[in-house]
Structure 1
Amino acid sequence: MATSDQLLVVIDPVARHSDGESVRIAKDVLSAGAATKICLPEGPEEFARALARRGSRRPVVVGDDRALLRAVTLLHRRRELGATGLSLVPVGASLSLAWSLGVPTGAVAAARAVLDGVERRLDLLVDDSDGLVLGDLRIPSLPAAAPAPASPPVPSGRRASPAGAEPSPAPGPWLRMRRSLVRTLAARPPRLSGRSGPGPSRLRVEVDGVTLVDLDQPVEGVCVAPGNPGVAEVEVRPVSVGAEATALRASGRKVTVSGADFRYRADAVVAGPVRTRTWVVREAAWGLTLPATGVSGV
C-alpha cells in the first residue's frame, strides 16, 4: 500500500464534543478509502505527541481553524512543515479560514477531498516571535468574520499549485481571502477618537522598508493578506474627517507595524499587546490537500 494511502487521523477534542455526528461521518469515509490510524487526543500535549509519532502516515486533522493552526505551528517548530503535507476535515464553529483556503466545509466532501485531492503549496506569514498567519491579519483585532455559507462556490486555486505543476489561472483561495477582506473593510468599525477608541489610533506601517503610513496619521485599521506568490497585500484605512478617506495600499514580502501598544487578530487568534511586530512572507511554505477540481460545501 502506498504511503499516501496511510492516514493518521487526529480528531481534535473540541470537534468531538461539538459535532460528534460529523466526526463519525468523516471517520467512516476515510476508513473506507484508506488505511487509517485514529488518534483521540484529550489536549494540546497529546495532540502534539500524535503528530510527532505519525511515522510515514499522512496527517489528517479533524477540527476547526484553531486545530489547523495548531498542527501547522507544531510542524513549523519541528522544522517538518516543508516536508509534511496536511489534510483537514473542518468540524466546529470557526471554519472561515478553512473555507477561504479552499477546503470543503461538509464532512463528506472534505473527507473525499482528503482521499482524492492534491497537495497544494501555500504561502505563510511568519512573525519575529515565530508566530504564524495562514490567512489574514487585522489590526485592531476586529471580531471574526461571519461563518461561511453552507455551499460556497470554490474554483480551483490560482494561488496554489500541485508540486511540479504550473499554477492554475483561475481565481483561488487567496483571491477569495482578499474579497473577504474587502467585505470586512466595507463594514467599517467606529471611528477612533484620540486614544479611547477600540484599538490603536497611530501606527507606523512599513512594507519592504518603505513607510506606508506614519504615526502622525491616525488609522482605523490595517489588513494584511496573501497576494501573488511570495507577496503580502497591505491595506491601511486612515481615520476620515468628513469625506471618506482613501485607503492606502501596498504589497511586499516584509511588513512591519509599530507604535503604541496594539493587539492584532491573526486568523482566529488575538495576540498582543505589542509595540512592534514584523511579518515576513515565506512562499510555498506548507502543503494542504485540496480538491483537484472544484469544491463542494455539502
Structure 2
Amino acid sequence: MAEVATAPTSDQLLVIIDPVARRTDGESVRIAKDVLSAGAAMKVCLPDGPEEFARALRRRGSRRPVVVGDDRALVRAVSLLHRQRELAACALSVVPVGGALSLARSLGVPTDAVAAARAVLDGAERRMDLLVDDSDGVVLGALRIPPVSAVPGQDPGEMAEAGRPWLRTCQSLVRTLVPARPSRPATAPEPGPSRLRVEVDGQTLVDLRQPVEAVSVTPGEKGVASVEVRPVSVGAEASPLLAEGRTVTVSGAHFRYRTDAAVSGPVRTRTWVVREDAWGLTVPAVS
C-alpha cells in the first residue's frame, strides 16, 4: 500500500456526523466535537440518511471533510467522492465511532475518539491504493470471496414463498386442515467449495476445474494487488496459490464477495483494478 505523508490542506473542517454514530455512542460524538472545535474552525452537519450525507459532502466547498462514524460511513464517503471524481484531490479524515471499526483501525486511524480527533488536527495525509471494480465500486481494505452455500442466509422454501404470495396462502390453509407433525430442527446449508476462474493481469491463476475454499485480494505495494487462492485440500492441506498484479478478474457460478463492511453479489464475473495513490486519509503524524 503506497503512502506519502503530507500536511492537511485546509484548517476549515466540515464535520459530518453519521446518524448511526449519534445513536450508538453519543458521548464519543460529543468528545470528538469538543476536541475538533477547540483546534479548528468547523461546520457541523447532522444528516438523517444517505442522501443528506451525500449532499453535505458534495457541498463541502473548500472545507476538509471529517466523517464521524463507523467503517460503513467511511466507505460511503470514499465511494461518494470516487463517483464524483473528487477523491484524488480530497484529503479525508475520520473519527471512528460505532460498532464496526476494524477497517479504520487497519488503515492506521486510532479508534479512541480523543486520539482520532487530535490526529485530524495534527496528523498527516497518507496516500493509499484503492481497488475499483467494473461497477464503480471501491475496496479500501480487503476483498474476500468465501465458500458458497446452496442458498446463503435463507431457506429455499422461504424464497419460493416470497416470490409467490399465493403459495403462502395455500400452505397456511393446509396447516389448518392437517394435524401438525412434530417439527424437525432446522439445519443451515453447509458452505461448499466454489468453482471460480481467477485471472491476474490476464493470466489464469486457477480455473473452473479446481474447486477453491476462498479467494482474497488486498492492495499490496507499488500499485499492485496481492491475490491468494486457497484450493480445496484432499488429504494433506493444499498450499495457497499466490500472485500479484494490477487487474484481478473472478468469474464462474454466481458468487458473493465481502468488501470492507459490506457483502455484494451474487454476480457471475467481476474485475477489480488497482488505482495507485488514489485517495488520502489523515492519520497520526510519525514523530
SS, match of residue 79 in structure 2:
helix
Write out per-residue CA displacement over residues 164-211 of structure 1, whole angstroms, 9 at most, x where no aligned residue.
xxxxxxxxxxxxxxxxxxxxxxxxxxxxxxxx7526521000000010
Please name the residue that 1:13 is paired with. Answer: 19
Structure 1: which 5+ residue stretches go unaligned? 143-195
Q: Which runs of 4+ in 1 moved over 4 A?
A: none
Aligned-residue offset at 1:4: 1.4
1:227-281, CA deviations, whole angstroms, 9 ceiling, x for partnerless residues?
1120100000000011111100000000000000000001111000000000000
Q: Which amino acid aligns with 2:37?
A: S
Q: 1:99 to 1:293 in 2, by over 3 A?
A: same
TM-score using structure 2 length: 0.81
**How many percent of aligned residue pairs carry the same amino acid?**
80
What is the distance in 1 between the residues matched to 2:112 and 2:147? Answer: 28
Contact 2:147 2:193 in 1 (8 A): no
The match for 1:228 is 221
CA contact (8 A) 1:204 1:215 kept: yes
Structure 1 CA distance for aligned equivalents of residues 270 and 50 of structure 2: 26
CA contact (8 A) 1:141 1:270 kept: no
SS for the counterpart of 2:89 is coil
- The one-letter amino acid paired with 2:73 is A
1:117 alignment partner in structure 2: 123
Q: Which residue of 2 aligns with 1:69?
A: 75
Hey, what does 1:279 align to over in structure 2?
A: 272
Cα distance in structure 2, aligned partners of 1:141 and 1:122: 29
Q: RMSD value over aligned CA atoms?
A: 1.5
Query: Number of matched residues?
Result: 240
CA contact (8 A) 1:7 1:34 kept: yes
Name 2:56's counterpart in structure 1.
50
Correspondence list, 1:119-158, <5 A: 119-140=125-146
Q: State which drifts further: 199-208 or 279-288.
A: 199-208
**Correspondent of 2:241 among 248, 255, 261:** 248
Are residues 199 and 23 of structure 1, via their aligned partners in 2, closer, same or farther at CA, if it must alter by over 3 Å? Answer: farther
* Aligned 8 A contact 1:221 1:236 in 2: yes
Q: Is residue 200–residue 261 contact of structure 1 (8 Å, CA) maintained in 2?
A: no
* Structure 2 unmatched runs, 5+: 1-7, 149-188
1:261 matched to 2:254? The reply is: yes
Q: What secondary structure sits across from 1:272 in the alignment?
A: strand
